[in-house]
Amino acid sequence: MNTPNNTIKITDLTHLGFLITGILDEKPAIQLSFREIHDAATDRLLVALIMHRLGHLADFYFVRTSRNFDLLEAALSDAACALYGREPVTNDGLCLLLDIVLEAIQQQLHHQSQPQQVFTRSHLPELAQN
């Protein structure tokens, strides 16, 4: 399942995390609501939202031009879904963005560490019993 064609690079996620950390350090007046973040993540437009709203505060060139852009959106969408209703932060949308990136990293590392089971004909009777 985890082939080079459907796996996000951890460096894409960490790069985005570093950009968000830099923005947090600037303490911008821009606020992103939790609703706005979750809605964008559900639509797989979270990176687009971040670049649109915060693009003047950081250089998103490598994120924007990544060959894994769609995979990045998908990974962040999955991570936001996992955190929905149990967000570790309660006030700051930028902090929620960083939490989503961290959750996406954890999910990707978990998926990459799972052994891939290859099914052969010898597995068929075993699968039928389960």
Q: Where are the domains of the chain?
A: 10-129
**pLDDT the model gives residue 124:** 53
**How confident is residue 109, by pLDDT bands cut at 50, 70 and 90?**
confident
The CATH class of 10-129 is: mainly alpha
**pLDDT the model gives residue 110:** 78
Considering only CA atoms, which of 13, 1, 19, 35 is closest in space to residue 107? 13
pLDDT in tens, 77-96: 999 999 999 998 999 999 99
Question: Which long-range contacts link 51-57 to residues 24+ away (Cβ below 8 Å)?
Answer: 54/23, 54/28, 54/30, 57/22, 57/23, 57/26, 57/28, 57/30
Query: What would the two tokens of residue 26 be?
Result: 């600037």
